[in-house]
Amino acid sequence: MTTTHYRWQKVGEVEVFYREAGPADASVLLLLHGFPSASHMFRDLIPELAEQYRVIAPDLPGFGQTKTPLRGDFTYSFDSLAEVIDGFVDALGLRRYAMYIFDYGAPTGLRLAMKHPERVTAIISQNGNAYVDGFSDEWGAWQAYWQDPSATNREACRASLSPATIRNWQYGTGADPELLSPDGYELDIAYMTRPGAEEIQLDLILDYRSNVALYPAFQAYFRAHRPPLMAVWGRHDPAFVPAGAFAYRRDLPDAEIHLLDTGHFALETHHREIANHVLDFLERTLQS
The model's confidence at residue 2, banded by pLDDT at 50, 70 and 90, is: confident
- DSSP secondary structure string for all residues of 44-77: THHHHHTTTSEEEEEPPTTSTT-B-PPBTTB--S
Q: Side chain identity at 28, as an amino acid letter?
A: V
Instruction: For residue 212, give the 3-state DSSP assignment.
Output: helix
Does a structural domain hold residue 16? Answer: yes
Q: What is the pLDDT of residues 45-58, one digit of tens each?
A: 999 999 999 999 99
Report the distance separating Cα 247 and Cα 173, nearest Å: 22
Q: Catalytic positions, please?
A: 264
Q: What is the pLDDT of residues 162-175, one digit of tens each?
A: 999 999 999 999 99
Q: What is the pLDDT of residues 120-136, one digit of tens each?
A: 999 999 999 999 999 99
Is 235 in contact with 227 (CB distance < 8 Å)?
Answer: no
Q: Which residues sit opposite 135 in a β-bridge?
A: 240
Report the distance separating Cα 138 and Cα 119, nearest Å: 35
Q: Which residues sit opposite 11 in a β-bridge?
A: 14
User: In the predicted model, is pLDDT for residue 1 greater than 80?
Assistant: no
Burial letters 61-80, b for 16+ CB under 10 A, else e: bbbbbbebeeeeebebbbeb
Domain boundaries, position 26: 5-136+211-287
pTM of the model: 0.98
CATH of the domain at 27: 3.40.50.1820
Region 146-175 average pLDDT: 98
User: In the predicted model, is pLDDT for residue 288 greater than 90?
Assistant: no
Does a structural domain hold residue 155? Answer: no
| The total number of structural domains that make up the chain | 1
Does a structural domain hold residue 177? Answer: no
Query: 169, 138, 142: which is closest to 154 by C-alpha?
Result: 142
The pLDDT assigned to 171 comes to: 98
Q: What is the 3-state secondary structure (H, E, C) of 169-198?
A: HHHCCCCCCCCCCHHHHHHHHHHHCCCCHH
Report the distance separating Cα 173 and Cα 240, nearest Å: 12
- Supply the mean pLDDT for the chain: 97
Does a structural domain hold residue 205? Answer: no
The pLDDT assigned to 49 comes to: 98
Does a structural domain hold residue 223? Answer: yes
Does a structural domain hold residue 116? Answer: yes
User: In the predicted model, is pLDDT for residue 68 greater than 90?
Assistant: yes
Region 37-41 average pLDDT: 98
Relative to beta strand 14-21, strand 54-58 is: antiparallel
Report the distance separating Cα 113 and Cα 121, nearest Å: 10
Does a structural domain hold residue 162? Answer: no
Does a structural domain hold residue 9? Answer: yes
